[in-house]
Amino acid sequence: MDMNLKARWVAYTELLILFGISLFFLPLTALSHPFLLITSPSAFRSKWFEAFWRFVGPKMAASPLQVDHIESLLSRAHGTVLELGPGGGDQSYHLKPEKISRMYGAEPNAFLHDLLLQKLTEAGLGGKYTPLQASAQPRSLLPALMAAGLIPSNPSGLPPEGVFDSIIAVKSLCSAPQAQLPATIAVLQALLKPGGELLFFEHLGNNTDAITQGYAWLMNWVWPAFMGGCRLDGKLDAVIDGMGGWAKKDIRPTSEYQGYEVFRYTIGICQKA
């Protein structure tokens, strides 16, 4: 088999495998929580994703193609830190507890919070860590920050001096609706202190190969429903490139990216002016 065709097949099959694993946990969740689907469909979806993520999260965190990139990124986090979508805390061992004074994890799936706290305790951050039931979108994140006493609960706006020294996103901003992404990133920038850094390792939409783009477009019709809202057409890099207010923007695909993959894994270190 031609190596290019073989590589494409492996890259395209990765999505089908993840899709199949998620589908496998759907009836298991329905059997173990038969009334949750009727009484609270949103809670059922969260429980379904929790079961799926407890299985695949550690495996994805250990990927040899990603682990060194995530280590180099998360080891920069310092001071007061906000992590977006930490899931079950599978990436927490990359953090440097001695550099972090306080840390908050905005994880919308409350069913993962016990595992999240366990992993952060194992990483040496248990006494410094607070989980927040929130996503990255402003309408969810800002009320949670208000409830935690991090920003004022009045309409005067966000603190001009910022709140966080570092904001982390590891494969989580893919779940933010793309139409809302500019507003989401603008709020994250406002939450950073001057000189603070937005640190992200995200999979973005393929922008180099028409065949892969077509495949991702087809998969994206069903993918979010089975993957906790994850999308395959992320344009985080384009959104940040179009913004002002950054002293430094270092955004680049990982060196392993060949151009045909559905997941264009990208590293970003963006420092607020």
- Assign 156 a pLDDT band (cuts: 50, 70, 90): low
Give residue-wise pLDDT tens across range 122-132: 999 989 999 99
Asked whether 69 and 267 are in contact (CB, 8 A), the reply is: yes
What is the mean predicted confidence (pLDDT) over 205-219?
94
- Assign 2 a pLDDT band (cuts: 50, 70, 90): very low
Whether residue 38 lies inside any domain: the answer is no
What interhelical angle do 138-147 and 181-191 show, nearest 10? 30
3-class SS of residue 170: strand
What is the CATH classification number for the domain harbouring 215? Answer: 3.40.50.150
Whether residue 44 lies inside any domain: the answer is no
Range of the domain at 230: 67-272
Whether residue 191 lies inside any domain: the answer is yes
Whether residue 180 lies inside any domain: the answer is yes
pLDDT at 200: 98
Give residue-wise pLDDT tens across range 76-121: 999 999 999 999 999 999 999 999 999 999 999 999 999 999 999 9
pLDDT at 3: 52
Whether residue 94 lies inside any domain: the answer is yes
* Number of domains composing the chain: 1
Q: In 71-144, which ranges are E strands?
A: 79-84, 100-106, 129-132
Whether residue 133 lies inside any domain: the answer is yes
Whether residue 254 lies inside any domain: the answer is yes
